[in-house]
Amino acid sequence: MKYIIDSVSNYVEQENTNYAILINGEWGCGKTYFWNNVLKNEIENIELNGKKQKTAYLSLYGITSIEEINKRIVVDHVFKNSETFKSISESKWGGRLTELGKMAVGVVKNLEIPIISEAMNTEINYENLLNFTDTVLCFDDLERANCDIADILGYINNFVEHDGVKVIIIGNEDEISTRLNTQNYEMKMITSSIILEKEGAFTGTNGETNELIENKLRSLFNKTDTYKRIKEKLIGKTLSLTSDFTQITKEIIRNYQDESLRVFLMDNLSIIETTSQNSGTKNIRILKQALDDFKIIYGHYNEKYKDLDNRILSSILKFTLAASFEIKTGIEENDKLEVIRSNSDFISHVTFSDMISKNKSKDYIKDFKTKYFNDSNNYNDLIYFKFSEILVRKGIFNEEIFEHEMNEIKIQYTDDTPSYLKLLRSGYMELEDDVFFDAMDTAYRKLVNGEMKFTWYFKAFVLYRQLIKVGLFEKEISQLKQELYEGLKKAGEQATDYVDSLTLLWGYEANPEDSDLQEFNNKTIEINRALLVKKESNDFDKLIENLDENFQQFIIDVNGRYYNTPVFSYCNMDELYLKIIQLSNRNIGIMIELFKKRYKDLSMNSECRLELDNIRDLEKKFNEYIHSKKITPKTVLLTEFSEVINGIK
């Protein structure tokens, strides 16, 4: 990097230059960081003719026109040097306007900002206001502009050549060259094809035709010389930045104000370096974003959990870095990380995936672990942190999830987790010989007695089948299946909490030919569906209970959340009937419309057929009420309600 600093300093100190400098490097290698934290300061410390040099920085990312560049430069320059701007009304200068100054005056006059417009109308020479000869301009992200790069380079060349303005361009030369050489490529291809067709050249195969077009395109448009030609005219020096990753990482760390954070990150520098290396991309931009995310986590961690083993915090840092490199670089299937709910889910998936499906060609979660965590430095197998994944992916720090996970970790790693749970969670490699057999027997006994959560049985069958296979557990497979299946049924009878179906058996895809495992899969789903019905029944009964107070919410939920769910098949019809007849007439009318919509076409909403027996009971109750009362608007509405139910086909 020193040679770049020296080269740029020599360039700035030269009196007469008519070229720009290109700082070349791959995306994310730290070019912008190098400018902001090193080069900018070096330039602004240079003094020429008694004047300190200034800098103006402009990212061309997303720029759509030269006019937009003009405006950004001027606004940045004018307001950055506001003391000069404030002196407009007090001073008059003579002298020439530079090419850039002429452009700037026009732009500033067109800016609809009162103080600028007023200043522009005064009789002033603008040499000192808009004189860029003591300013080094930096244009970043050239290859990411949304307008013609050749136009931008021509624009820069205009004031470099005429005014001697010092310009530094930051970009990826390979991408710049590709952009320039392929501009209007489709039109060039069409033109080449038309000429070849008129020449009668298309007589061979498709491969020969493509080669003919490429050769004609090259001869017509001299394709490979576009960038070279422009570069020879504008770029005097190309300085390639090969990032010193360790040095830049240290510099990023030193810039954090929290001393304890700086100390922690420096102590864990090897984790930062190896994780970045394992990612296959030493991308400084992503690294900086990852460390900024970790800074947020670190602040919350230190408030309540700083007494925990520091290796837990190191594990969080490592996962935050790994997740950042995967998500921010768009690695294929990184969304699989989003589905996982906890570290236990992560470890279970890695442990059991091979036992369930040995011939699976690709498993992103296993590959992720191998890529970043295939060493012995994972404290107590702490790898995955949901709060960190959400922060990296969505930019949201979910404090509730953070608190939940940290409290789980606190319990799990400050107290002794029973060995039988470690076995079921992570397999037999988790345990030493002196505790394994007792843990295996304890876990099996609890499983057979239905004392474990129903969601464990699918994996438990896989585990014990594997233990039989390797000779660690003596039992016939048929007996194992029968005993665990009976245990699963017992566990299902005692279960109370529904598990989100998307995550119930995620990652554990039973082979269709594995009939034994399919039975556990199907029974687990059956139990969970029953729990869902129970949950929805309870939720819906509460909704009915508060019908008079939350009528609007009832309508929203029945038309939305419960539209395809047969909630009326298991709700308390006596309670619903009493609540309906107590509604205002207007709300009874709304209920009638709701029922018309719900049962209009049961072929499209077939699940609701299960509700019909209960709905017929509601019709009978309405009729009994109507016959016991004199005619009123309410009885008329309830008669219509009864007819709607009676008319359901």
Residue pLDDT, tens place only, 219-257: 666 544 566 777 777 888 888 877 677 888 888 898 899
Quick one: which of 47, 64, 55, 46 has its CA closest to 9? Answer: 46
CA distance 120 to 114: 10
- To 10 degrees, what angle do helices 419-426 and 433-448 make? 80
The predicted pLDDT at position 415 comes to 54
Reported as a single tens digit per residue, the pLDDT across 528-541 is: 989 988 888 888 88
Can you tell me the mean pLDDT for 386-409? 95
Is the pLDDT at 129 greater than 50? The verdict is no
Q: Do residues 141 and 111 make contact, with C-beta atoms less than 8 angstroms apart?
A: no
Range name among 180-184, 383-387, 473-477 with the lowest pLDDT average:
180-184
User: What is the pLDDT at residue 126?
Assistant: 37
Buried b (16+ CB within 10 A) or exposed e, 134-157: ebbbbbbbbbbbebbbeebbebbb
**CA separation for the pair 43, 52 (Å, rounded):** 9
> Once rounded to an integer, what is the mean pLDDT over residues 480-502?
91
Contact between 548 and 576 under an 8 Å Cβ cutoff? The reply is no
Select, from the ranges 146-150, 294-298, 415-419, 420-424, the one with the highest average predicted confidence (pLDDT): 294-298
Tallying the residues shown for the chain, one arrives at: 649
pTM: 0.56
pLDDT for res 388: 97
CA-based nearest residue to 33, from 280, 293, 283, 259: 283
- Give the tens place of pLDDT for each residue, 601-620: 887 778 888 999 999 999 99
pLDDT of residue 122: 45
pLDDT over 90 at 164, yes or no: no
According to the model, what pLDDT value does residue 634 have? 94
* C-alpha dist (Å) from residue 289 to 180, 283, 510: 31, 10, 39
Query: Which comes out higher in pLDDT, residue 239 or 316?
Result: 316
Please give the pLDDT value at position 379: 61
Give the pLDDT of residue 402: 97
> Does the pLDDT of residue 43 top 90, yes or no?
yes
Which has more confidence, 243 or 348? 348
State the Cα angle at 636 between 635 and 639, rounded to 5°. Answer: 85
**Is it the case that residue 200 has pLDDT exceeding 60?**
yes
Q: Determine contact, residues 527/492, Cβ cutoff 8 Å.
A: yes
C-alpha distance across the termini of the chain, in Å: 80
Of the listed ranges 20-29, 42-51, 204-213, the one predicted with least confidence: 204-213
User: Please, what sign has the CA dihedral across residues 523, 524, 526, 530?
Assistant: positive
CB 347 within 8 A of CB 377: no
State mean pLDDT over 446-455: 95
Per-residue confidence band for 463, with pLDDT thresholds at 50, 70 and 90: very high
**Dihedral-angle region of residue 497 (phi above 0 means left; psi in -120 to 50 means alpha; beta otherwise):** beta
Among 87-96, 251-260, 345-354, 382-391, the least confident range: 87-96
Judged against a pLDDT cut of 90, whether residue 323 lies above it is answered with yes
Confidence (pLDDT) at 71: 75
Give pLDDT, residue 355.
76
Q: What is the per-residue pLDDT for 502?
A: 65
CATH 3.40.50 for the 2-180 domain, yes or no: yes
What pLDDT is attached to residue 131?
60
* Percent of the chain residues past pLDDT 90, beyond the cut: 42
Which pLDDT does position 396 carry in this prediction? 95
- In the beta sheet, which residues pair with residue 238? 22
**What pLDDT does 565 receive?**
87
pLDDT of 280 higher than 70? yes
376: CB partners within 8 A, 6+ apart: none
Residue 526: what pLDDT? 94
**C-alpha dist (Å) from residue 171 to 10, 28, 104, 553, 601:** 21, 10, 25, 55, 61
